[in-house]
Amino acid sequence: MATVAARTAGGPATGRAPFVSVALVSGAALAYELLLLRLFSIIQWHHFAYMVISLALIGLGASGTFLALMRERLLPRISQVFVSCLALFGPAAAGCYALAQQVGFNTEEIFWDPGQLLRLVIIYLLLAVPFFFAGCAIGIALMGWRESIPRLYGADLAGAGIGSIALMTALTVVFPLQALSLIALAGSLALLVAVWELRLRWRISPALIFALMALPALAWPWRADLVVSPYKPLSQALRIAGATVLEQRSSPLGLLTVVSNERVPLRHAPGLSLQAPAGPPPQLGLYVDAGAVSPITAWDPTAGTAHFGQLTSALPYYLVQPGRVLVLGAGGGGAVQQALALGAERVDAVELNSQVSALVRDQFGAFAHGLFQNPRVRLHTADARGFVSTDRAAYDLIQLDLVDALGSSAAGLNALGESYLFTVEAMEDYLARLSPGGMLATTRWVRVPPRDALKLLATAAEALRMLGSSDPGKHIVLIRGWATSTLLVKKTVLTDQELRSLRRFCARRGFDLAYDPSIRAEEANRHNVLRRPWFHDGAVALLGNERQGFLARYKFNLTPATDDRPYFGHFFKFKTLPEALSLRGRGGAALVEWGYLVLVATLLQALVGSALLVLLPLTLLQRARPAQATLSTLRLVTCFAAIGLAFLFIEMAFIQRFTLFLHHPLYAAVAVLSAFLIFAGLGSLLANRLAIQRRARAWMGFAVIGISLLASIDLALFGTLFELFAGHVLWAKLGIAIILVAPLAFCMGLPLPLALAQVASSQPALLPWAWAINGCASVVSAVLAVMLAIQFGFTLVLILAVLLYALAGLTFPGNALQAEDPLT
């Protein structure tokens, strides 16, 4: 009966469904989404990029609502509508971005200037347009070729999977802006393929018009420049007379810009002591994504120690004479030069981005006095955690000097600010690589009241406890200047001699002792005087018995990050928010922890957007045709929302797990994302056969059970497999990742097309709406997964996903249909 219903319920389209063009436009839309993350990470900040994307995706949801409302009018001319949407996608993708980057939004002014909100809304509306066209194309195909829904959905997923790989490949070759033109090209290609697939009679005039429309979209990205926020460090550097861009390189890991200025050279020496006689030698600025600068310094190894001994990060070199040093996150090479200047015998430098290494080693190698050609230096292109977990050498010193997980945020695929560099497990890994008397030194920018420095100290203490230390305080030193703080963790107990050297080091440079095993309260807060010795008090509390009470009473979150909750930068506490906000106009703006607020705002706007664009139109729709409502609305909403939420929960949790396993944020994200999409697409192809049998509901049950089992098995196997294969080459590990993902993803490809097919056969008018609910749930899901992971960890996200699939099984629309059968 289901099949009969599907064939007779008013579907006008005949012939083969446009699988290839659906796959193409779906791939182009996903590539566009990922590219927008890249582009907005450069012109704005990556937090903001997520905010934009999540709302732009509501364009997809809105397309479902639009189709539902206009169904009667659109169905008779389905091919034309489909082709028009494809034709409009490409020009909209390029054109809307071109306009959006001109809007000139400034996040920091949102406190002060209500006009900024208006600008934000304009950006949202612009970027929603291309997604709307892509969503309309896919949605109308689902409506028009209802018998082929599962296969169309499969094409949609597989296309998206291939699109993500294609974009990442393209980004290794072209600059991000130019990749826009490739996306417009994919849109045009989808149009041509659709004309062929649907056997439309080729008419010259519309084809010409379409071609003319696409041309500027293809050409614009090659002639235009990115409009970067004037407040980003690169923009600031380029405003200064004499600034020249020497080199620009791009990869999915980030856009690199090297700036030289002979008239006003860069002078970057974070936290240089006030006692220092001079600043740093001449420098070139190396900017990643127009953001933080990592200088390339023209330091001549034969010309003394320069400024390198006058930084807080120099401390370990004055306590012991480290023979072998490991620098994690080499960047422009400053920490490597510091190690050489201060007497290290051998330095191993680890840098994730091979373009960064290449610039410092080759192109600007002469400027840096052959830093990476120095026989005492070895350069490794690797992820820091990956290097530490596979390397077997013992180091006297491991340096993490003002590094952040640039790679993960720049890749734009990982969620907000995950970092595996500063978790408890990471600290354990670092300590394991130290020689018996070895030290780990981490330097961060100072924030007042203290945040990073104290959280890092708490994290180190936790790691030391895990490694069996009964008194972590005996291994830890924390010093600070006005700009930077350095935390030193020694594998063994610090000696009296070292503590004497420590005092001498600090006194000579005007740095403050915040904590060391022998510190007396009156020794703290002497040089850079704060109203209270916050750093000292915090350190003492965190290392003592009042730790839990202090963590609870402190107004920022200092609980150490773990690999399951890898959010070192999460200092936000809800209870501080009202106070911080009330003080924003009174010098307290810097107290507001923005990252998390952006996340909350993103979730709220996604919920509100979904409600406005999907639920509201639905109520109108229901009122218009009450007679047709045979499916319970609540069941339908629950089922499709649950499937949408669960799919992305699992995807996000897996990306997180595999980032640690593959030790590369980008490879992990692309491998997991595309494997999920492609194998789920294959699952959907199978669903096409299953859906036309009467046992759709039973198949749904099998799918849910399969997902639960496989997810549990994966969860149980992660640890063992990861340990077993930790030392293997990347390709072997990618293979393992795909083996773990494939069967699970295959099962995850079943529920949505099965449910869609059920709706299509019983109440086709609700089909686009169901599609829209799923789309909106996916948007909410990505943000919600991160918020849940911050609070409870990714393991819980995975468990929730399984429960959501169970819920979807219980509310599967097939049930309503069967209950209805005996009555009719």
Partner 1 sequence: MSDPAGSPALPQSSVRQPALPPRSCGTLPAGTVILIMALLLGLTPSTHADRYATQRTGMVQLIRQDVIDTSRYIGKERLDPAVMSVMGRVPRHEFVPEPKRARAYANQPLAIGHGQTISQPYIVALMTDLLELNSTDQVLEVGTGSGYQAAVLAELTRTVYTIEIIEPLGRAATARLARLGYANIHGRVGDGYYGWKEQAPFDAIIVTAAASHVPPPLLKQLRPGGRMIIPVGSRFMVQDLLLIEKSPAGEFAVRQILPVRFVPLTGEH
Q: Give residues in contact with partner 1 (CB under 8 A).
A: 106, 108-109, 111-113, 230-231, 235-236, 239-241, 263-264, 267-272, 274-279, 447-450, 482-483, 510, 527-532, 534, 538, 550, 553-556, 575, 579-580, 583, 585-591
Smallest gap from residue 387 Cβ to partner 1 (A): 27
Report the phi/psi class of residue 620: left, alpha or beta, with left for phi > 0 and alpha for psi in -120 to 50: alpha
Pick 447 or 694: Cβ nearer partner 1: 447
d(CA 183, CA 133): 14
| CB-nearer residue toward partner 1: 378 or 555 | 555
Shortest Cβ 645–partner 1 spacing (Å): 35
Smallest gap from Cβ 309 to partner 1, in A, equals 14
Q: Which is nearer to partner 1, 520 or 575 (CB)?
A: 575
**Antiparallel, parallel or unpaired: β 512-515 and 476-480:** antiparallel
- Residue 571, number of CB atoms within 10 A of its CB: 21
Q: Helix (H, G, I), strand (E, B), or coil: what is residue 14?
A: coil
What's the min distance (Å) between Cβ of 119 and partner 1? Answer: 13
Min dist. Cβ of residue 482 to partner 1 (A): 5
Rounded to a whole number of angstroms, the minimum distance from the CB of residue 363 to partner 1 is: 24
Q: How far is the CB of 384 from partner 1 (least distance, A)?
A: 23
Whole-number Å distance between alpha carbons of 740 and 448? 45
CA dihedral (673, 679, 681, 687) positive or negative: negative
Between residues 7 and 532, which has the closer beta carbon with respect to partner 1? 532
Cβ distance to partner 1 smaller for residue 437 or 510: 510
Residues ≥6 apart with Cβ < 8 Å to 471: none
For the chain, what's the residue count? 824
197-203: long-range pairs with CB below 8 Å, 24+: 197/16, 197/18, 197/19, 197/20, 197/21, 198/15, 198/18, 198/79, 198/82, 198/83, 199/15, 200/79, 200/83
Q: State the Rg of the chain over Cα.
A: 28
Alpha helical stretches, state H, 269-419: 315-319, 334-341, 354-358, 384-390, 406-411
| Shortest distance (Å) from residue 766 CB to partner 1 | 48
Nearest C-alpha neighbor of 156 from the set 183, 137, 182, 181: 137
Return the C-alpha torsion angle 750, 632, 619, 153, nearest 10: 10
Paired strand residues for 489:
440, 476
Q: Which two tokens stand for residue 81?
A: 């509508």
Minimal distance in Å, beta carbon 598 to partner 1? 15
Nearer to partner 1, 258 or 402 (CB): 402
Burial letters for 704-715: b for 16+ Cβ neighbours within 10 Å, e otherwise? Answer: bebbbebbeebe
Query: Closer to partner 1 at the Cβ: 263 or 520?
Result: 263
Query: Quick one: tokens of 803?
Result: 């429960």
Whole-angstrom distance, CA of residue 792 vs CA of residue 673? 23
The b/e string for 235-245 (b: 16+ C-beta within 10 A; e otherwise) is eebbeeeebee
CB of 484 to partner 1, least distance (A): 9
User: Which residues share a beta bridge with 380?
Assistant: 350
Structure-token pair, residue 173: 């070759």
Query: How many whole angstroms separate alpha carbon 235 and alpha carbon 468?
Result: 48
CA dist 422 and 482 (Å) reads: 22
Smallest separation (angstroms) from partner 1 to the CB of 106 = 7
Q: How far is the CB of 239 from partner 1 (least distance, A)?
A: 5
Q: Closer CB to partner 1, residue 135 or residue 285?
A: 285
Identify which of residues 269 and 646 has a Cβ nearer to partner 1 in the complex.
Answer: 269
We find the least distance from the C-beta atom of residue 428 to partner 1, in angstroms, to be: 28
CB-nearer residue toward partner 1: 136 or 266? 266
Complex with partner 1: residue 450 or 751, whichever CB lies closer:
450
Q: How far apart are CA 26 and CA 133, in angstroms?
A: 11
Name the token pair of 297: 């310094």
Nearer to partner 1, 538 or 609 (CB): 538
Q: What is the dihedral of CA 431, 726, 253, 308, to 10 degrees?
A: 20
Give the bridge partners for 441, in sequence order: 399, 488
Closest CB to partner 1 among residues 389, 525: 525
Which tokens sit at 19?
């699988």
Report the residue number, 223 or 575, with the smaller CB distance to partner 1.
575
Strand 324-328 and strand 293-297: pairing? unpaired
Taking the complex as a whole, how short is the minimal distance between the CB of residue 341 and partner 1, in angstroms?
17
Nearest distance, CB of residue 293 and partner 1, angstroms: 9
Residue 631: which of 768, 759, 804, 823 has the closest Cα? 759
How many Å apart are CA 509 and CA 511, to the nearest integer? 6
Of the pair 228, 669, the CB lying nearest partner 1 is at 228
Q: Which residues have CB under 8 Å from 121's CB, separation 6+?
A: none
The Cβ-side half-sphere exposure at 463, using a 13 Å CA radius, reads: 27
